[in-house]
Structure 1
Amino acid sequence: MSDDGSSRNEFSGTAANVVQAHSIEGGVHFHAAVAALPVPRQLPADVPGFTDRVTHLRRLHDWLDTPDEQAPPAEVVAGPPGIGKTSLVTHWAHQVRDRFPDGDLFVDLRGYHVERTVSADEALSDVLRALDVPDERIPARLEARAALYRSLLHRRKMLVLLDNASSADQVRPLLPGTSTCRVLVTSRSHLGGLIARNGAHRMSLDVLPTEHAVELLAGIVGDGRVAAEPGAVARLVEYCGRLPLALRIAGERLAEDPRARIGELVEELAEVRERLDVLATPGDESTAVRAVFSWSYQALSPDAARAYRLLGLLTGPDVGLPAAAALLGTGQGRARRVLAELTGVHLLAEQERRYRFHDLLRLHAAECAEADEPPAERHAAVRRALLWYAHAVQAAVDAVIPFFSRIPVELAAAEAPVPAFEDRAAALAWCDAERANLVAAVDRAAELGEHELAWQLPVLMFGLLLVRRPHADWVDTHQVGVASARVRGEVAAEAWLLTSAAIAERELRHPERALEHLERALACWQEDGTRWGIAWALRDTGAIYEQMGRYDEAVAAFERALAMHLEDGDTWGEATALAGLARCHLGAGEPERALAEANRALEIRREHRDQRNVGNALNDVSRVYLGMGEYEPAAEHAEQAGVVLAEVDYWNGRALSHELLGDALAGLGRAEDAAAQWRVALELYGSLGDPRADEVRARLADG
């Protein structure tokens, strides 16, 4: 042994006999002595109704089947609180415990229990007692205890389960140092030091797939009750975030009263602020979701705890590093380090520097913010993030659609660096990644009384909405923006948002609602005196009348707008009005006139080098040729449009190009080629939630 003489004197009695047999008389006598030691069987009871985790169980079986000399010294099962780490390792251990004839040890290290964390010193003391070492023979020093532990386990075939470890230092002294034993560790931490220094392997747990979450619930309350209320079960699984602990608590509450409807519990869970109260087991605070989360929160450093609770104030699905830094009021380097602490203990999930809460953890974080963060600090943090989003979306949309007039938007100075986008593609990629967060930011701004930001954000988002056409988001953000503009008395902002919202309503096939928006918008534009705004509202009024087949009214509206654009020398607006007139004249049976208008609009777009609208104009020309029954030029223009619009990643325009090309190919008798184009159009329209998907689907069905 490597300890000094005084340490060896502590190894008297039972343990000393073992060690002396090993050090003096050789391996044969050592094995005889070991055989006399007890065979501990310390596994907790198996988990009833264990569900899923097939892949993880298979990996553990593969680990066990690995030759001893090749197996890693420990397997770490990591994941957020309540994810089922202990259930998994306990269930697997019961399946394989017969392969460990010398016994199994179980130590709850209570790594995130604030009051009763178990040190490696204490854990070794408990383990040595389980191995029949009397208290008076247990060494005083940690190193000596670990050495005796390793000696007792040498060449024994034992399974060691170390549950709920918080750090590598808590685990290392409990590694047996012999390849014949297997060590399984659970932790909310990544335990990176154990992986790097000791060669341990790690696998992470995530929430259950929906079908297995339902299966877990059925195992507790019975298949009949689950089958009787499938809708309520689906909502219950959603409210529990597919977290095994939450599902078990919910299931146990239902099991206590067989007459209770699942829907009644769902109604309780629907109240967000009370959800963590509902997900608790009466009389057993240690298994309540809130308590389990709180242990992790209270173990955080002050900076990480502040970050945790402030992140809970954001309502988007995730957050990027720059936005998180803005929220926290720090540089990105410091924010990254703080967020790494949260991901390291699985309170946040991270992928490519985007960070996401489990839904229940987000609720807990928000509760912590309300309890532990002063109201002024909460408001200031969220405002920093909202303002950063406003500046970032302005920069992105300026790169995506630079040719559109916009009402003045005067933003307060950003407190964090705003991203610079090298090209349109980079800006669009950012917009796609952040769209759900931007939608949430509009709602959050209004909730906080930041009405200026609540109307500025949707105004700035117009380019993103126009290019990607997420109609539901478009309508929702603009409803909020209009209300906030009215609170602030911002007439031009109200006019803008109503005119913009009418586009979405038109494309959702809600023409009457769109006309109501435009009637109010025109009154606001006229009150504000913005000529291009009046012309915009007139053009969109014409577009709705054209959609309704009211061509005379449509032409009158487009011609009023065209006259204003010609008087003002606005060739961009002129091209837009001409495109609308072309559609009207085509619908009214005047294709030659429509072709001249569509070609003039295309000429202007090419002069402007506005590629998105060049593609749109090519589509317009293709549509006119289709109406004339001239399928070759119709196909040619639609194909050209598709190429241009693919280059600028304009999904809505690309969908129309494929639809028109399919129509032209069908006219040429090329049914299979037409169907292929329609299928692409259907996929694009479907991704946008565009009702035109139904029209294309009907073509495919007829074909």
Structure 2
Amino acid sequence: MHNQISGGIFFSAVIQGRDITVQLPPQVTPALFGLPAGSPAFTGRADSLRDLLTALEPSPSIGGASAVVVTAVGGMGGVGKTELAIQAARAALARDWFPGGVLFVDLFGYDPGRRLDSGHALDGLLRALGIPGEHIPFETQDRARLYASVLSAYARAERPILVVVDNAADPEQVRPLLPGDSGCRAIVTSRHTMGMLDARLLDLNVLTPQEAISLLGRAIDLAHPRRSARHRARDRRRGGSPAVRVPAARAADRGRPARRRSTPAAEGYGGRPGRRRIAADRAAVRGCDGSRHI
């Protein structure tokens, strides 16, 4: 008699037999489709999006050489790197290029208070892949080996995974998180050029004036669908960065009656116009920043 188990990827005990009574541990469900939502105000970037999708598209090895696995998207803070990566990842998933799913991690590389080292990032990624916490090694190097093995197993099972690593500060922070199997792909965003990763480099510049105007108009239209297009003219000369969403939120909020809040936090501003404007700007960023552009 010959028994064989097939059709799955297993990283724990597999039991086979007849009349077996066993108490199984709680099932760990992989979290492989936790990609953040894309912004409906996304506009422009057609060339950059096309280049990024070209790099993500599955392709066979040519002449024994593996296809490019990693694409590094670089540019100044606020230029739209994260949103471009999310839009490309969602487009790739819609085309069924990565049936294994997508892993997303924000390393907070430029936020000293929240910055993730690669060891903590690997812990989260392994749990997202369905590895029980008690099976995750303590040392970063061991975690990296297990992580690479799991990604390779998915690729061999024709279920490649896309890895999106956001806000990497330097190559050493992100290197252990990258797939080694050419069946998988990775997008890395950073304010620095990640040339040391042997990645395909994609530099992102500020939006053109016309793209910025279009983004501003779409942000206003989302807030007020009935708003006439002629009202957009007042903001035509604002900057070419996605930061134009701040004036977009201001414009969307114009005409609404002022509401006095009686909370202690509001009272703390003491009625000073300058501080109220700062609070309004922060609220505008929170209210209209449907995309991430760090």
- Flag whether TM exceeds 0.5 (same fold): yes
> Which residue of structure 1 lines up, in the alignment, with residue 211 of structure 2?
212
User: Which position in structure 2 is the counterpart of 1:249?
Assistant: 246
| Partners of 2:73 and 2:188 within 8 A in 1 | yes
Q: Rate the CA distance shift 1:79–1:284 in 2: closer, same or farther, 3 A.
A: same
State the partner residue of 1:182: 185
> In structure 1, the residue corresponding to 2:163 is in which secondary structure?
strand
Q: Which runs of 5+ in 2 are unaligned?
A: 1-9, 15-27, 258-273
- When normalised by structure 1's length, the TM-score is 0.31
Within a 5 Å distance, the mapping from 1:296-307 to structure 2 comes to none
Q: Which residue does the alignment assign to 1:282?
A: 283
Tell me the number of residue pairs that the alignment of Structure 1 and Structure 2 aligns: 237
Residues 1:64 and 2:52 aligned together = no
1:355 matched residue in structure 2: none
CA distance in structure 1 between the aligned counterparts of 2:236 and 2:117, rounded to whole angstroms: 42
1:601-616 alignment, distance < 5 Å: none
CA, structure 1 residues 215+58, in 2 after alignment: closer, same or farther (shift >3 Å)?
same
Q: Is residue 78 of structure 1 aligned with residue 74 of structure 2?
A: yes
| C-alpha distance 164-229 of structure 1, shift in aligned 2 (>3 A) | closer
Q: Deviations over 1:364-389 (max 9, x none)?
A: xxxxxxxxxxxxxxxxxxxxxxxxxx
In structure 2, C-alpha distance between the alignment counterparts of 1:137 and 1:186, rounded to whole Å: 30
Shift of 1:234: 2.1
1:142 corresponds to? 140
Q: Distance in 2 between matches of 1:220 and 1:177?
A: 39
Distance 1:140 1:55 in 2: 43
Distance 2:83 2:252 in 1: 20
How far apart are the structure 1 equivalents of 2:162 and 2:241? 28
Q: Are 2:73 and 2:203, in contact at CA under 8 Å, matched by a contact in 1?
A: yes
Query: Residue 201 of structure 1 aligns with which residue?
Result: 200
Work out the CA distance in 2 between the residues paired with 1:49 and 1:286. 13
Give 1:117 shift: 0.1
1:623-670 CA-partner distances (Å, limit 9, x unpaired): xxxxxxxxxxxxxxxxxxxxxxxxxxxxxxxxxxxxxxxxxxxxxxxx
Find out whether 1:109 has 2:107 as its counterpart.
yes
The answer on whether the counterparts of 2:249 and 2:287 sit within 8 Å (CA) in structure 1 is no
Shift in Å, 1:281:
2.4
Secondary structure at the aligned position of 1:186 is classed as: strand
Unpaired runs of 5+ in structure 1? Answer: 1-13, 19-35, 261-272, 294-703
Q: Given that residues 249 and 285 in structure 2 are in contact (C-alpha distance below 8 angstroms), is that contact kept between their aligned partners in structure 1?
A: no
* 2:105–2:165 contact (8 Å) kept in structure 1: yes
Q: Which residue of 1 aligns with 2:6?
A: none
Q: Partner of 2:97 in structure 1? A: 99
| Separation (CA, whole Å) in 2 of partners of 1:53 and 1:209 | 10
TM-score by length of 2: 0.72
Output aligned runs, 1:2-41, within 5 Å.
15-16=11-12, 38=30, 40-41=32-33
**Structure 2 counterpart of 1:280, one-letter code:** D
Q: Give me the identity figure in percent.
A: 37
Equivalence map 1:540-559=2 (5 Å)? none
Q: In the alignment, which residue of structure 1 is the partner of 2:85?
A: 89
The C-alpha deviation readout for 1:667-690, integer Å capped at 9, x for no partner, is xxxxxxxxxxxxxxxxxxxxxxxx
Secondary structure (helix, strand or coil) at the match of 1:49 reads coil
Displacement, 1:233? 1.8
String of CA shifts for 1:159-190, please: whole Å, max 9, x gaps: 11001111101111011211111100111111
Q: Secondary structure at the match of 2:236?
A: helix
Specify whether residues 285 and 227 from structure 1 end up closer, same or farther in structure 2 by C-alpha distance, changes over 3 A only: closer
Q: Distance in 2 between matches of 1:62 and 1:158?
A: 16
Alpha-carbon separation, structure 2, partners of 1:201 and 1:77 = 9
Give the letter aligned to residue 233 of structure 1.
D
One-letter code aligned to 1:131: L
- CA deviation vs aligned residue, 1:55-83 (integer Å, no higher than 9, x gap): 01110121123515342221011111111
**Counterpart position of 1:171:** 174
Q: Does 1:221 align with 2:220?
A: yes
The question of 1:45 aligning with 2:41 is answered: no
| SS of equivalent to 2:174 | helix
Distance 1:257 1:120 in 2: 45
Distance 1:176 1:16, change over 3 A: farther
Q: Distance in 1 between matches of 2:283 and 2:253?
A: 11
CA shift digits 1:314-340 (9 cap, x unpaired): xxxxxxxxxxxxxxxxxxxxxxxxxxx
- Which residue is 1:443 aligned to? none
CA RMSD of aligned residues (A): 3.1
Deviation (angstroms), 1:114:
1.6
Does the CA-based 8 Å contact 1:163-1:185 persist in structure 2? yes
Runs of 4+ in structure 1 off by over 6 angstroms are 283-288
Question: What is the alpha-carbon distance in structure 1 between the residues aligned to residue 284 and residue 256 of structure 2?
Answer: 22
Report what 1:233 is aligned to.
235
One-letter amino acid of the structure 2 residue matched with residue 282 of structure 1: A
Structure with more helix by fraction: 1
Higher relative contact order, structure no. (Cα contacts within 8 Å, ≥ 6 residues apart) = 2
Contact 2:58 2:97 in 1 (8 A): no
CA change 1:283–1:210 in 2 (3 A) is closer
- Once the 2 structures are TM-superposed, how far is the Cα of residue 210 of structure 1 from its aligned partner? 0.9
Cα contact 1:15–1:148 (8 A) shared by 2? no
| 1:326-345 paired onto structure 2 within 5 Å | none
The CA distance in 2 between the partners of 1:212 and 1:284, in whole Å, is 19
Equivalent position amino acid for 1:64 in 2? L
AA partner of residue 100 (structure 1): F
Give the whole-Å Cα distance in 2 for the aligned partners of 1:39 and 1:101: 13
Distance 1:143 1:227, change over 3 A: same
Distance 1:234 1:286 in 2: 21
Aligned partner of 2:165 in structure 1 is: 162
Contact 1:49-1:220 within 8 A present in 2 as well: yes
Correspondence list, 1:630-669, <5 A = none
**Shift in CA distance, 282/38, structure 1 to aligned 2, threshold 3 Å:** closer
- The 1-side partners of 2:160 and 2:36 are apart by 19
TM-superposed deviation, 1:248: 1.5
Structure 2 vs 1, CA of residues 257 and 79 (structure 1 numbering), >3 Å: closer, same or farther?
same
The answer as to whether partners of 2:245 and 2:288 remain within 8 angstroms in 1 is no
